Amino acid sequence: MKEQLEAIHKSALESVSETKAATDLEALRVKYLGKKGELTGLLKQMGGLSAELRPIMGQMANDVRAAVEKAIDEQSAILERRAMEQRLASETLDVTIPGKKLRMGHKHPMYSVLDEIKDIFIGMGFEILDGPEVELADYNFTKLNTPDDHPAREWSDTFYLTEDSNVLLRTQTSSMQIRAMETRSLPIRVMSPGRVYRKDEVDATHSPMFHQIEGLVVDQGITMGDLKGTLNAVIRKIYGENTVTRFRPHHFPFTEPSCEMDIQCHKCGGVGCPTCKGEGWIEVLGAGMVHPKVLRGCGIDPDVYSGFAFGMGLERLALGQYKISDMRLIFENDVRFLEQF
């Protein structure tokens, strides 16, 4: 039995010192010290020994057990330390490596122009309104005094979403005039920018989706003078204080009288050049005094209140501001183009 104990002692210490993984070490613990382990098996045979030998062998077996346990614990500590060293070596962080640069985007040039314009209107006491792009024909046309046979209502011009022509993608932000007058208390001073849609082929100056900015003022005693004063102030803030403007008579169903506003070409000073297509003037917006029928339709008494409205294309403003020659560049979102702004 002594030899067997010594053999177990020797082989256990050897195999423990050779283990490389915690799982192998655990297997050895079971193999030697477990309930069905080699040492336990030997202890069970103690009963067959003589009374003198039994304590001696018992003592020896306990010593072997203690030695093996100690060896396993020590090896376990060694393996843990080794694993930690490996992790430290593989997970080192080199704080001197240059960081990865984040590619930051920036605001689209058209939205920069829009923000500028919003600021101008907010400064004049206007509120900014947001509205639906999927709109009722009632708001886009009918309540804006647009007759049933108006060409803009044709299926060839407008994106309808229902067979009965009642729901459409709005063709103008003027629909927001009606929404404002129906929901807000007087006086009203609002501007509403947003997307509009028309069945236009894409070219340098057209797109089936573009942006408009609508404006509406309704109060007692509002006149054409207010319209001209306000729009002159806005346009001079956008295009520069020395900008020369003119108002031409025009027709819109929802205003009476109606006009278009031009600015004198800043390139040629009114003589005529490619920028103004030889006209000397560049059209910037449509406007007019809100039609009494439109006011009445929204429950506002035209004998007490009057108002003016205007609408301008945002792309055209952005193209002019940044001297961009082709509207497609605005929507293509080619980063090489956008990075210039």
Between 284 and 309, whose beta carbon lies closer to ligand DAH?
309
Q: d(Cα 194, Cα 172) in Å, to the nearest integer?
A: 9
Residues 173, 31: Cα–Cα separation, whole Å: 84
How many residues sit close enough to ligand DAH to count as binding (CB under 6 A)?
11
Q: How far is the CB of 177 from ligand DAH (least distance, A)?
A: 6
Q: For residues 129 and 137, what is the distance between their CA atoms, to the nearest angstrom?
A: 20
By CB under 6 A, is residue 145 in contact with ligand DAH?
no
Euclidean distance between the first and the last CA atom of the chain, given in angstroms as a whole number: 92
Task: Give the DSSP per-residue string, 179-209.
Answer: HHHHHSPSSEEEEEEEEEE-----SSS--SE
Q: Does 311 bind ligand DAH (CB under 6 A)?
A: yes
Write out the binding residues for ligand DAH, residues 252-291 only, by CB under 6 A.
252, 255, 286-288
CA torsion angle 140 315 180 188 (round to 10)? -140
Among 19, 75, 172, 264, binds ligand DAH (CB under 6 A): 172
The two structure tokens encoding residue 280: 């000397």
Comparison of 255 and 264: residue with beta carbon closer to ligand DAH: 255
Q: 314-322 vs 109-123: helix axis angle to the nearest 10?
A: 110
Min dist. Cβ of residue 334 to ligand DAH (A): 28
Residue with smaller CB distance to ligand DAH, 239 or 252: 252
Binder among 309, 314, 317, 327 for ligand DAH (CB under 6 A): 309
Q: Residue 117 interacts with ligand DAH (CB under 6 A)?
A: no
The angle formed by the CA atoms of residues 324, 325 and 331, to the nearest 5 degrees, is: 70
Residues in the chain: 341
Q: Which is nearer to ligand DAH, 34 or 302 (CB)?
A: 302
As measured in angstroms, the least distance from the Cβ of 292 to ligand DAH is 14
The least distance separating ligand DAH from the CB of residue 259, rounded to whole angstroms, comes to 8
Residue 187, preceding bond cis, omega within 30 degrees? yes
Nearer of residues 65 and 179 to ligand DAH, judged by Cβ: 179
Nearer to ligand DAH, 19 or 212 (CB): 212
Q: Could you tell me the two tokens for 250?
A: 């025009």
For ligand DAH, the binding residues in 187-226 under the rule CB under 6 A are: 214
Q: 246: part of which helix (H) or strand (E)?
A: strand 245-250
CB atoms under 10 Å from CB of 26, counted, come to 14
Q: Which residue is nearest to ligand DAH (CB)?
A: 311
310: contact with ligand DAH by CB under 6 A: yes
- Site for ligand DAH, rule CB under 6 A: 172, 174, 214, 252, 255, 286-288, 309-311
